[in-house]
Homo-oligomer: A and B are copies of this chain.
Amino acid sequence: MSYNLWYWPEIQGRGEFVRLALEAAGIEYCDCARERGTQALVDDMARYTQRPPFAPPYLELQGFVIAQTANILLYLGEHHDLAPSRLSDRLWLHQLQLTIADMVAEVHNIHHPVAMGEYYEDQKAEALRAAEQFRAERIPKFLQHFDGAAQANPGEWLIDHRWTYADTSLFQLVEGLRYMFPRRMAAIEHDYPALLKIHGLVRSLPGVAAYLASDRRLSFNEDGIFRHYPELDGA
């Protein structure tokens, strides 16, 4: 079976965490709005009167949709064996994914600290201030947490001896932070060797390597979540 995944067609955004897990696992999917356009996504969302997604990404299943990135990954993990089977492991995995989601929300908040619906240019002064504390305190706090999680696992990955959806998500987090904060990341990323090791391992997964080399992988850009505004970066 092939899934229908719906997400904004011009950005990596939150959808990328789902795309990466699907690509890494070799699960067939249609990235529907990339084929049919933004209006098709808007129209599709309007179809769901019963249990609508609050926002993309969402995954169509037979008779219903799953929204919220971490929720989609929870489902894929359990139904495609991309997650461990032990209860404590599954909860730990989901916990890490939710913490990744928290960091992603904070990243978005940096360029939109006071008005989600307005342009970055109209809240640049506030964004400069938000970026300062994020670079100084939040990036190290989050990356230390993920690096510690990776170090504590006896295997090469975050959990167990094989990749899970949280590994592909950490890959994307490192990619995004390097794009958004190249100077800051160059200065500190080597403090998190276990995290960087996972980043490298994920990049080398056959499904991920093929995806990154394909035109299915969009480039980062300044409409997405991770945006490179040089003025927000600093070592």
Contact = CB atoms under 8 A, between A and B. Distances in A.
Interface of A: 49-54, 61, 63-64, 66-68, 70-71, 74-75, 88, 91-92, 94-95, 98-99, 102, 105, 109, 113-118, 123, 126, 129-130, 132-133, 137-138, 142, 145, 148-149, 152
A105 B105 CA distance: 9
Given A113-B113, A113-B126, 14 more contacts: A51-B149, A51-B152, A54-B99, A64-B88, A66-B95, A68-B94, A68-B98, A68-B99, A71-B91, A71-B98, A74-B91, A74-B94, A113-B130, A116-B133
Nearest to A148: B52
A95 B117 contact: no
Given A68-B99, A102-B105, A129-B126, A51 B92 contact: yes
Contacts of A129: 114-115, 123, 126
A150 B13 CA distance: 29
How many copies, total? Answer: 2
A213 to B, nearest CB: 33
Contacts of A63: 88
A130 B114 contact: yes
A198 B109 CA distance: 31
A79 B194 CA distance: 34
Nearest to A159: B51
Highest count of chain B CB atoms <10 Å: which of A114, A118, A126: A114
A94 to B, nearest CB: 5
Nearest to A62: B88
Nearest to A78: B87
Contact of A133 (B91, B115, B138): B115
A203 B199 CA distance: 47
A67 B91 CA distance: 9
Contacts of A123: 129
Given A66-B95, A95-B67, A145-B54, A133 B105 contact: no
Please provide the 10 A-B residue pairs with the shortest distance between their CB atoms, ordered closest to farther: A68-B98, A114-B130, A114-B129, A64-B88, A113-B113, A115-B133, A68-B95, A54-B99, A50-B152, A126-B126
